[in-house]
Amino acid sequence: MHDPIDELLEEHAGIMTEVAELRRAVRALGERGEAALPAARATLAAVTRMMETRLLLHARKEDEALFPALERIFGADGGPTAIMRREHQEIHAQAALFRHTLHELNQVEHPAIVAGGAQLADRVAAGASAEALRAIGAEIIRLLDLHFTKEETILFPMARQLLTSEALADVAARMETLEAS
């Protein structure tokens, strides 16, 4: 049996590798504004795909496999898993807003425009802007940093301490089922 906590930690590391790219794009959008959009666009799209796939599956593994095992020990109401579930919802809401803003920007900007400049600023004035993407990206980064830190320093060590080897095996099996679906 593989350790489900180790698997979740490995997923954190992989997700945060992509978030590092988002950090660079957010920094560039903050420093260069609209001029940074052409270079940042591929990163923003890649991070959006990651949030729709890897991050969503990761959260499902926690919500549907790990958290129920812990809730059998200390209940679901008001405990640490309730807080983590609320944070998952908040992260996913920000990710949806980010996707919407990126989509809006791509619809407003004509594909022939290859650089930021005044023309791009005029085109995006009616829709999303580099600042909107920067702000949403920064909020996603903040939420993930806080959430993953809580899981890595509090929740996962608690799970290792409280869950029996049988419970961990059940969590691993549920995670495998989610991965396969």
SS (H, E, C) 93-156: HHHHHHHHHHHHHHHHCCCCCCCCHHHHHHHHCCCCCHHHHHHHHHHHHHHHHHHHHHHHHHHH
Indicate the helix (H) or strand (E) that contains 20.
helix 4-32
Neighbours of 87 (CB within 10 A): 18
pLDDT-derived band at 2 (thresholds 50, 70, 90) equals: confident
What is the rounded distance in angstroms from the CA atom of residue 85 to the CA atom of residue 150? Answer: 12
pLDDT-derived band at 13 (thresholds 50, 70, 90) equals: very high
> Which amino acid does the sequence have at 83?
I
pLDDT at 168: 96
What is the rounded distance in angstroms from the CA atom of residue 69 to the CA atom of residue 125? Answer: 49
pLDDT at 127: 38
Burial tier of 17 (Cβ tally within 10 Å: 0-12, 13-18, 19+): exposed
Encode pLDDT of 38-69 as tens digits: 888 888 888 888 888 898 899 899 989 998 89
- Lowest pLDDT segment from 71-85, 106-120, 124-138, 144-158: 106-120
Encode pLDDT of 91-136 as tens digits: 878 777 766 665 555 444 433 333 333 333 333 333 357 888 888 8
Whether the pTM exceeds 0.85: the reply is: no
